[in-house]
Structure 1
Amino acid sequence: MKDETQFSPKQDAEAVSVSDMFNNILNEKIKDGAVEKAIEVKVDEFIKRVADDVFSSWGDLSKLMKEKMTEAIMPTAESLGDIPKYHDFVSKRLKLAAQSFYDDKLVEVLDSELKEIMSEVPDVINLSWLVEKIVDVAREDESEGKISLHINKSYSSYWIAIDKESDKSEYQCDFRIGLREDSKTGKLTIFSLKVDGEDCRKSIALGPFYRFEKILYNAYVTNAEFALDKGQFADDYETEWYYD
């Protein structure tokens, strides 16, 4: 609402200079407390502004409090030791999962594998049978030829080396079989087997094995009997084939 109070001059403009008029009005305001009131308002605003600055996140008090709280907390934090990192957590979870697999699944897998192995092991593996199988493999590539066969005896053991290619030395052959002779029964069992240079003793499974290779491997892991059924010399076995 517009103030309708009319202004009535208190001083005679003809008798008082502007400078004196200013001084007179100023003195009157000072006497009425206007200046004090204005200063009080400004002081209140100043105090509030200072308090806001002090308690702000960038203020000195905030910085000091942060510093003091850090000093109080750090010794406790240091006593905690290393806090586990994310990759440590993942590693532990993987180990736990692996252990769970071994505990819950490995027995089932091994039982299934052993069942298959036992079902494919004849009572006796004859060397003539093995030679025949390798000849059959070689015959698929050549219409006629001869495989490599070596039989060596060392004390109570035999070493047999076989390869589908001819003229291979004992240590070049794909198959090398170690046989141990029982002193009481005279029976031979496989105690060492290498296939393509791989030692079967160092693996629970090699392969994939198929056909006679799988049967030979199964005979090895079950300690089956192996017989030199045609004789103790390489010439006792049919290692050659001809075009039919």
Structure 2
Amino acid sequence: MELELQTTAGDSVTPTAIIPRLPLWIKVITLTSCTLSILGSALIIGTFFAWKDIRTASRRLLVILSFTDFWTAVALFYGVYTDFMDSTVDCIVQSIVSTFMGTSSFFWTVSIAIYLYITIVKTDTQLAGSLTKNFHVVSWGVPLVVVGCAAGLQKLGYDKSQVSVGWCWVKLTTPDNLLWMLLTGKLWEILAYFILPALYIAMKRHIYAQMRQSSALITYSGT
């Protein structure tokens, strides 16, 4: 815990604010989680470039997602390790990188789900492949616009670790901080929570129906 002190005219020292530091156990757990994310993402990216046989379209999308996760974890690791106490330059840069990559990660996760849905349920690999360019435009473009506006309006920076685990995100001093928290991550995260299960259930039902149909055909042909 750190105590911010202010010197008055009479040379007396008066405490003005108490700014809590992150507990060590929280830092250790968070840094460990970030490290595992970095290693896992690096492994996926490394294997993609190491073996040509696995360089499929779906795996390419997974590599892009891993790229965003890698830099998100790196930025969050730096933020937690540094344990910022003010909106310094590196705090703002960390917020920009983690917010952009984190938001992009949600878009790429949904994009992969849509790609798999079209490939599995609609069985239209050509359509799925043609959507790749759109995935790039949306998954990079929307986060770029949102984070660019947030950074330009000076909404990103030190959040006193009240809405994060040590890293910088949206400044709590801004009156519309809740709006920017939604735009820079939470809104897309909530939407993903609805879209992803819906697509998963649709694919699961389709696969189950295909299995039942195949089983019925085998049973019929055997009689």
**What TM-score, normalized by structure 1, do the two folds share?**
0.19
Q: Which has the higher helix share?
A: 2
**Relative CO higher for 1 or 2, CA cutoff 8 Å, sep ≥ 6?**
2
Q: Which has the higher strand share?
A: 1
Flag the structure with larger Rg: 1
